[in-house]
Structure 1
Amino acid sequence: MSSPCDPRYAPAGDVDGALMVIDSRLRAVQDGRTGTDPEQQKLLDQLTASLDLRGVHDLLDGACTLVFIFMKWLRQVHEEHDRDVIEYVVPSLVVTLRMMPRSVRPEAIPTMAGLVIAAGTGLSPSLWRRQYGDWTKEEMTALEATALLLAEHINRIAGDRDFATRMIGETLSRADREAGPGFDGVGDAGGTGGR
C-alpha cells in the first residue's frame, strides 16, 4: 500500500534556491567566517526579497528535497557497511542542533529529527511535515541548519568539501537531460521522486 508521504507525490520545490542558500552557508562555515560572503549575501537577500508566500513554500520544499537526497545518499553509504542510517545520523544531528541555541529553538529539534527519519525511511520530508500544519519561523531556520549539517556530514564522509552540493547539481542536470524539452527545472531530481 502506498503512503500519503510517498516521495513521488511531493513537489520538488525550488531546489536551486535552497541549494544556493545551503552552499553559501557551507562556504562560510568551511572558511571559518561568522557571516556569509558579502556578494553571496547580496544574492541571498535578492532571493528572499523576491519571494512571495508561494516562493517561500517552494524554497521550503526545495530544502526538504535536499534533505531527502542527502539522506538517500547517506542511507546507501551506511547500508554498504551494514549500518542503520537513522541510528548513525539522527543522534549526532540532534546533538549538534542542540548546540546551536541561538539559531535553532529547542522546540524545532523534534520536528527536524522527524523530517530526517522520514527521509531516512524513504518518505517525503515535505509531505511528512505537512501533516502537522504550517511551518513555523523556528522550523524554517532549523530546516536550513539541518540541510547544512547533513551536507557537511556528507562532505566529511566523501573527503571533499564540495561533494554534497556537486552531487545535487549533478542530480538536477541528470533530471534536466532525462526530462527533455519543456522541462520546468524541478521535476524528479534524478529518480528520487518528488520530495
Structure 2
Amino acid sequence: MSSPYGPEHSPTGDVGAALMIIDSRLKSFHAGKDGTDPEHQAMIDQFTASLSPKGARDVLEGACSLIYMFMSWLRQAHEDEDKDVIEYVVPTLVSTMRMMPRSVRPETIPTMAGLVIAAGTGLSPNLWRLQYGDWTKEEMTPLEVTALLLAEHINRVTDDPDFATRMVAEALSRTDPEGPEGPEED
C-alpha cells in the first residue's frame, strides 16, 4: 500500500547544494578543524544569504533527500548483514547529537530521530516532518548535523572518507541527462 509520505510524493530539492554543504563540513572536520573555521563559516553564510526563500526551501528539501539516500544505503547494507538499520543507526545518531548541545538543542533530537526513522522505513523525511507544520529556524542546524552524521557513519562503515559524497554525486550524475558538464554533444 502506497503512503502519502512516500518519497515519490516528495520534492527532491537542491541535492547538489545540500551535498556541497555536507561535503564541505566533512572536509573541514577531517582537516582537523572543529567545524567553527571562520573562513568556512563565512563561505556557508555567504551561500545561504544568497538564497531566495525558494532556494532555501530547495536546499532544505535537498538535505532531506540526502538523509533519505543515506538511510536507504544504510538500510540495504544492514539488511545484507541481517541487521535492522533503525536498531543500529538511530541510537548512535541520537547519542552523538546529545553530545552536541550547542549545535543540537535537546528538544530537536526527537524530530531528527523521527526523520531518520521515517527515511529508514522508506518514507520521505521531508513529508513526514511537514505533517507537523513548517520547519523552524531551530531545526536547521540539527537537520544539517543529521545529514552530516549519517554521511560520516557511511564513510566509517566503508572505511572511505569520501564514499557518501561520491555515492550521491554518482547518483546525481546518472539522473541528470546533462551531467555536470552541461548537455552532451551528439
User: Does the pair score TM above 0.5?
Assistant: yes
Please give the alpha-carbon distance, in whole angstroms, between the structure 2 residues aligned to 1:70 and 1:46: 27
* 1:42 Cα deviation from its structure 2 partner: 4.7
Alignment of 1:147-186 (within 5 A): 147-177=147-177
Partner AA of 1:3 in structure 2: S
Shift of 1:78: 0.2
8 A contact 1:28–1:37 mirrored in 2: no
Identity between Structure 1 and Structure 2 (%): 67
Q: What are the residue-to-residue correspondences of 1:35-74 with 2, within 5 Å?
A: 35-36=36-37, 38=39, 40-74=40-74
Partner letter of residue 123 of structure 2?
Answer: L
Unaligned residue ranges in structure 1 (runs of 5+): 184-195
Larger RCO (alpha carbons 8 Å, 6+ apart): 1
Are the equivalent residues in 2 in contact too, given 1:104–1:142 (CA < 8 A)? Answer: yes
TM-score, normalising length: structure 2: 0.91
Amino acid corresponding to residue 100 of structure 1 in structure 2: M
Q: CA, structure 1 residues 37+171, in 2 after alignment: closer, same or farther (shift >3 Å)? A: farther
Distance 1:100 1:120, change over 3 A: same
Q: Cα deviations across residues 99-146 of structure 1 (Å, max 9, x unaligned)?
A: 000000001000000000000000000100110111112211100000
**What is aligned with 1:9?**
9
- Asked if structure 2 preserves the Cα contact closer than 8 Å seen for 1:13 and 1:57, the reply is yes
Deviation beyond 6 Å, 4+ runs, structure 1: none
Q: Residue 167 and residue 37 in structure 1: after superposition, are their counterparts in 2 closer, same or farther (change >3 A)?
A: farther
Amino acid across the alignment from 1:26: L
- 1:1-195 equivalences in 2 (<5 Å): 1-34=1-34, 35-36=36-37, 38=39, 40-177=40-177
Gaps of 5+ in 2: none
Q: Deviations over 1:47-80 (max 9, x none)?
A: 2111122122111100000000000000000000
Matched residues in 2 for 1:43 and 1:107: separation?
28
What is the one-letter code of the residue matched to 1:17?
Answer: A
Distance of 2:38 and 2:76 partners within structure 1: 33
The CA distance in 2 between the partners of 1:152 and 1:108, in whole Å, is: 20
TM-score, reference length from structure 1: 0.87
Contact 1:25 1:36 in 2 (8 A): no
